[in-house]
Structure 1
Amino acid sequence: MSKIQSQQNIDTSQWIDPDERVEYYLNHQKSIELNLQQLLKLKERDYWTKKEVNLIAYKQFEKTLTRWYCQLLMPLPFLRDIRALPFIKNYRDLHSLVDFFRPFYGQNLEIADFKFPLFYGEHGDTEGLPIIRKTRTPEDKSSVLYNLRSFRFNLPCKTVQNTDIEWEHKNNNVIWRGATTGAALREAFVKKYFQHYNIGFSSVKQKPELARFKKPPITIADQLKSKFIVSLEGNDIASNLRWVLSSNSVPIMTKPRWRSWIMEEHLVANIHYLELNDDLSNLEDLLTWASNNDQECKQIALNGRHFVHQFLDDSLDVRIRRNVLQEYASRAKYV
């Protein structure tokens, strides 16, 4: 049992079978065909795909400064959380390579020479190619999921472990902070509830006209004082979902559209979270129900914690990453 599990008394009985997870990440593809010409054409499509689509093998980095930097320096607290990194100019490149390299450390794997197609980006279209990436939509039947940029999503879960408080000590409020990224969901939600609840944008990265809906940033520790924390998808997945699920608070969100390493489609409304309607109209109804069903809400928070910790177990995570890459290599054919 991992340290995380023992500290939280996590029930593993409902964890998803590791082999089932591997097949899920591989998109249930028994054979994988990658057209190299199509891949090269995709890479030259525009500025971003040129930077974010790559064909790489661990062997080409094994004895390089990049591999050493990723293994020994990037995990250090003073480096892993910053975006302007010394030595390498692209933040997402390095944070993706950290995760790609992890299954190879201390292992003499046959797949070290295999070239894997990786997409470092978030929501870009990879044109039906079986590229390894961090998210996909239900319509995407070819992309393969991998736990990329895990520092961004997993490290806040450790903050939660150190700062969270018991359900009974939380207030009955709802809270949300986030950036102006993504489609219309966040904009519509904030405009609807800005005046009535502690809901607002903490930063304006896109759509500068939304600056009037800003509210002061709030630390994770302060957000955890509320029983209900909203989670909203942005460019792809909701960046706060892992840490909210790992807390003693209840996520409030629409049914997830994007899928990632934590297999969001396995989350069940009223079991792991409270579900917002697609038109976002029912927040008040949810909070009214919650005020009359406090113990049910406490159980929902507990269920979410049990669920998400299967993706925070370090030894299991590395083993499944390795299996995904080995299965990809064994099933892949380049044409």
Structure 2
Amino acid sequence: MKLFYYLKHASLEILPQSVFNFNRSRLEKKYQSLSQEITNRVNYYCKVESPFVLPENETQIGNYRRKGYTSYYFDLKEFLHYFPKQYRFKYYFGDETHIEPLPTLFKARPVAGDNQNSVLFKLDKRRHFRFVNDTLSFDDKKDMAVFRGAVTQPHRIRFMQALFDHPLVDAGQSNPSSEHPEWQQPFMSVEEQLQYKFLICLEGNDVASNLKWAMSSNSVVITPKMHFETWFMEGTLQAGIHYIEVKDDFSDFEEKIEYYLAHPEEAKQIIRNAHEYLKPFMNEELEQLVSIKVLERYFELSGQRQKKEV
């Protein structure tokens, strides 16, 4: 898979500009009927409302180079190919959610507050945008919730303190813990986690990396209120519609689990809603077009590209 990944991006480097222009036109024509939906997504990712000017010494497409964060680099470079090499842009890679003074391409941003200078782009997608083909029905899964992951942030520590060894939860951390060695539990594959009716998704440094595949399963996602969002538009997800929301201190966790175990049809409706929400993100060509349009919008607002008349 990694070899194919690198070969794909190496081939993009040698393609003539005409190939990218043709693909953009093809995608625009194919998804013309979804133009309003695409515009809505672009406006969500790029909330910048006023024109801005980038410094002359800002990164140009032509001198954009890899400096660590390989997947981030390639995920952005794939769509920079569609634009002139003299175009400039600001970007920030990694699990970082601060707000820059000028519009900057980020993987994640805070849901609340003045976040318009963080322009969301689909970065680190091989890690975050994974989906599963869950063949096990909700009814046939274990009547429990499961969590596996690193436990270093205060909110994850709070979760383990509240629910480790709870009879309705199989919780374990993947990193060593000298203070709580009992918290470290054996590795559990995605396939093994899919045997549980409820999948606990906890934010890390930004969003929960398991959220997308969990929502594509036949299990129900459980999470406290989300504070960060990515290309997945986590800020538009609705509690009780797409996932089960619990309090930050997890004091209502058992109550919520017991309720949905007693009302399985409501749990299954949440699963159906989650699957419906996922559909646009699973359309690779549509994702390509939206990515192109986000960069178009960024370059238009920065005065480097003339807005296309409709």
Normalised to the residue count of structure 2, the TM-score between the two structures is 0.79
How do residues 130-149 of structure 1 correspond to structure 2 at under 5 angstroms?
130-137=103-110, 138-139=112-113, 140-149=115-124
Aligned to 1:152: 127
How do residues 37-76 of structure 1 correspond to structure 2 at under 5 angstroms?
55-60=58-63
SS at match of 1:17: helix
> For residues 55 and 118 of structure 2, what CA distance do their matches in structure 1 show?
14
> For residues 162 and 189 of structure 2, what CA distance do their matches in structure 1 show?
23
Percent of residue pairs bearing the same amino acid type = 29
Stretches of structure 1 lacking an aligned partner (at least 5 in a row): 1-13, 38-54, 67-87
Per-residue deviation, 1:333: 5.2
Correspondence 1:201 to 2:173: yes
Aligned to 1:326: 296
**Are residues 89 and 298 of structure 1, via their aligned partners in 2, closer, same or farther at CA, if it must alter by over 3 Å?**
same
> For residues 135 and 48 of structure 2, what CA distance do their matches in structure 1 show?
37
SS at match of 2:265: helix
> For residues 67 and 106 of structure 2, what CA distance do their matches in structure 1 show?
20
Aligned to 2:42: 22
How do residues 1-335 of structure 1 correspond to structure 2 at under 5 angstroms?
17-34=37-54, 55-60=58-63, 90=68, 92=69, 94-104=70-80, 109-137=82-110, 138-139=112-113, 140-154=115-129, 156-157=130-131, 160-161=132-133, 163-182=134-153, 184-196=154-166, 197-204=169-176, 209-332=179-302
SS at match of 2:160: helix
> For residues 143 and 89 of structure 1, what CA distance do their matches in structure 2 show?
21
Per-residue deviation, 1:126: 4.5
> For residues 116 and 67 of structure 2, what CA distance do their matches in structure 1 show?
33
> For residues 292 and 237 of structure 1, what CA distance do their matches in structure 2 show?
30
SS at match of 1:173: strand
- Partners of 1:122 and 1:135 within 8 A in 2: yes
Amino acid at match of 1:59: G
Amino acid at match of 1:26: C
- Partners of 2:98 and 2:109 within 8 A in 1: no
Amino acid at match of 1:23: N
- Partners of 1:153 and 1:242 within 8 A in 2: yes
**Deviation per CA, 1:28-64, whole angstroms, max 9, x where unpaired?**
4232344578xxxxxxxxxxxxxxxxx5444346xxx
Per-residue deviation, 1:278: 2.3
> For residues 220 and 44 of structure 2, what CA distance do their matches in structure 1 show?
26
Per-residue deviation, 1:270: 0.9
- Partners of 1:245 and 1:304 within 8 A in 2: yes
**Are residues 132 and 225 of structure 1, via their aligned partners in 2, closer, same or farther at CA, if it must alter by over 3 Å?**
same
> For residues 136 and 56 of structure 2, what CA distance do their matches in structure 1 show?
51
Per-residue deviation, 1:247: 1.1
> For residues 36 and 224 of structure 1, what CA distance do their matches in structure 2 show?
51
Q: Work out which structure has the larger RCO, using CA pairs closer than 8 Å and 6 or more positions apart in sequence.
A: 1
Per-residue deviation, 1:144: 0.6
**Deviation per CA, 1:254-303, whole angstroms, max 9, x where unpaired?**
12110110111111111100111122211100111011110110110111
> For residues 170 and 113 of structure 1, what CA distance do their matches in structure 2 show?
54
Aligned to 1:72: none
- Partners of 1:229 and 1:250 within 8 A in 2: yes
**Deviation per CA, 1:225-252, whole angstroms, max 9, x where unpaired?**
1110000001000111111111111000
SS at match of 2:90: strand
Amino acid at match of 1:278: D
- Partners of 1:102 and 1:318 within 8 A in 2: no
How many residues are matched? Answer: 267
Normalised to the residue count of structure 1, the TM-score between the two structures is 0.73
**Are residues 277 and 333 of structure 1, via their aligned partners in 2, closer, same or farther at CA, if it must alter by over 3 Å?**
same
Aligned to 1:69: none
> For residues 170 and 273 of structure 1, what CA distance do their matches in structure 2 show?
17
